[in-house]
Amino acid sequence: MTSAPSPCAALGILVQCRPGFEADASAELTAAARAARFTGETDTQPNSGFVIFELTAPEAHDVIRRRLDLARLIFSRQAFQVLAVLDDLPDRDRLTPLREAIAATGERFSALLPETPDTNDGKEQSGFLRRFGPLLEDALAKDGLLRPDSPHLPRLHVFFEGPKRAWLGVSLASEGSAWPMGIPRLRMPKEAPSRSTLKLAEAFLTLLTVDEQKSTLRPGLTAVDLGAAPGGWSWQLASRGIRVTAIDNGPLAPSAIATGLIEHLRADGFTWKPKKAVDWLVCDMVEQPSRIAPLIADWFATGRCRRSIFNLKLPMKRRHDEVERCRALIDARLSAAGIKYILRIKHLYHDREEVTCYLTRR
């Protein structure tokens, strides 16, 4: 890639992912770019934490936005359209060349997102980013390039691949994560039975719109948690005032029972059925994804739940293919029932060898 594009020209698309998932992110990004009729090649380095689709010819980034929905990418934590890449940044003054390159894009921005890969090398730069980010933000504000009061403007990503190399790019808030690097700042509640509670908390923030969160995560609603033990997901629902039926032959942690909103039934999550429909079905069972996808779809098709969040545990290889297989299984069941639906899938920061899905009626 060249380092000085014409104003508003995007040289490619960069997506950040969990290290080790570059092949999956690359397969998905390549398929999406080709479907949007962009020509180029994917540059993938194992365990780098990011993937780049280099465009054969630069495109106006509003063209990319119209033709490619980056928010739909499953294995991307964060995504942006590359405007420039700077090499050989000086150790003592990285601010000046970045400031000049950002001004040369001809853009103004609503927010600045300083980022690095989520790797050990990237984490070594975290201290530098904490110091450098505010300096760059102040400089851009003085240059009239940063306008936090104009949310319609694109966000500026400054992605430090290493100390001497930085990628500059843009995204809209609707296209990517609200958090730099796609990593939410969630605190582990002391009362929660397990760290898995953070998966569900992140899923609510990532997969639901603000309006959906307000309308579907309120006291008085009902939920079923399949494979609940030790109770991290049940606790997360109960902490929001939702009454939960926790299904698992294993025990729940005392802190889950202490909420007073969780009823524990020792039963098989694949065979147990509620007497009446519930608002939420959640499921984090350690099972083959080809068993979980039809289970959730059947609950939905038969009207036993109104919406669901569930995890699909993926194989070590061909993860993207397995996700598409599960998507097809869900579609076949719901299409046969004549149900129009919305299915959102994301490999969350708190996920490991799994993806998290949100299913609701359209």
Q: Is 192 annotated as a binding residue?
A: no
Segment holding 341, helix H or strand E: strand 341-346
In whole angstroms, give the CA distance from residue 256 to residue 327. 32
Given a contact cutoff of 8 angstroms between Cβ atoms, the answer to whether 11 and 84 are in contact is yes
Q: Is 121 annotated as a binding residue?
A: no
Catalytic residue flag (residue 214): no
Q: Is 290 annotated as a binding residue?
A: no
In whole angstroms, give the CA distance from residue 42 to residue 53. 4
CA quadruple 185, 190, 196, 200: dihedral sign: negative
The residue from 164, 313, 340, 346 that is catalytic is 313
Q: Is 248 annotated as a binding residue?
A: yes
Q: Is 230 annotated as a binding residue?
A: yes
Q: Is 12 annotated as a binding residue?
A: no
Given a contact cutoff of 8 angstroms between Cβ atoms, the answer to whether 305 and 278 are in contact is yes
Question: Parallel, antiparallel, or unpaired for β 222-226 and 278-283?
Answer: parallel
> Which residues fall within 8 angstroms of residue 8, CB to CB, at 6 or more apart?
60, 61, 62, 105, 106, 107
Please state the residue numbers annotated as binding site for S-adenosyl-L-methionine.
196, 229-232, 248, 268, 284
Residues involved in catalysis? 313
Please state the residue numbers annotated as binding site.
196, 229-232, 248, 268, 284
